[in-house]
Amino acid sequence: MKTRVSAIAAAMLLMLAPGAQAAELPDWLTGEWQQQNGDRWSEEVWTLPRGGTMIGVGRTGRGESLRSWEVMRIVRAADGSLAFHGAPEGGAATVFPVVEQGVRDVTFANPAHDYPQRIRYWREGRLLMAETAMMDGSGAQNWTYSPAGQ
């Protein structure tokens, strides 16, 4: 009887463990976002969550010149966990598993990657904030995006 109760208790604890339930895709990221600083600009566009995936594209530039671009995905795996897949300039995608998620913030990390190792998005009111950095927070680059067209 004790073994059966222990097995049931262990199963219940596993169901309550972080990551045991399917994580929510960050639908608050959906939309077209832009940052303008003089003649320098940066844009990101994120689709609505559908089929366990959000697809994003980003580009940065100066004046009429494109400096860089990236194709991104946030994907829910079969186990319910989320991961960010970033493919700068059309290269191979690097995967950053989710390490922290709140109601309007999400952090992905891959300590084995050269830079960035950590990618964070969060909302401050109508603004979308983004940061890339090393695991210890060094080398941080920050963006403050407004909804495009506003």
Residue 13 belongs to some domain of the structure: no
For 77, the domain range is 22-147
CATH of residue 45: 2.40.128.20
Pair 29, 49: CB distance under 8 Å: no
The closest of 110, 146, 111 to 128, measured between CA atoms, is: 146
Give residue 21's pLDDT band: very low, low, confident or very high (50, 70, 90): low
Which residue in 121, 127, 125 sits closest to 84, CA to CA? 121
pLDDT digits (tens, 9 = 90+) for 78-96: 999 999 999 999 899 999 9
CA 110 to the chain's CA centroid: 12
**Could you tell me the pTM of the whole model?**
0.84
DSSP state of 104: S
On the question of pLDDT at 124 being above 90, the answer is: yes
Q: How is the chain split among helix, strand and coil, in percent rounded to 5?
A: 10, 50, 35
* Band of pLDDT at residue 38, cut at 50, 70 and 90: very high
> Per-residue pLDDT averaged across 25-39, rounded?
97
Q: Is the dihedral of CA 33, 125, 121, 35 positive or negative?
A: positive
Mean pLDDT of 90-113: 97
- Report pLDDT digits (tens) over 40-58: 999 999 999 999 999 999 9
| 116 is a domain residue | yes
Is residue 3 in some structural domain?
Answer: no
Q: Which helix (H) or strand (E) holds 141?
A: strand 141-147
The mean predicted confidence, pLDDT, of the chain is: 89
| Segment among 2-11, 16-25, 108-117 with least mean pLDDT | 2-11
Residue 54 in domain: yes
For residue 17, is pLDDT > 50?
no
Q: Is the pLDDT of residue 22 over 90?
A: no
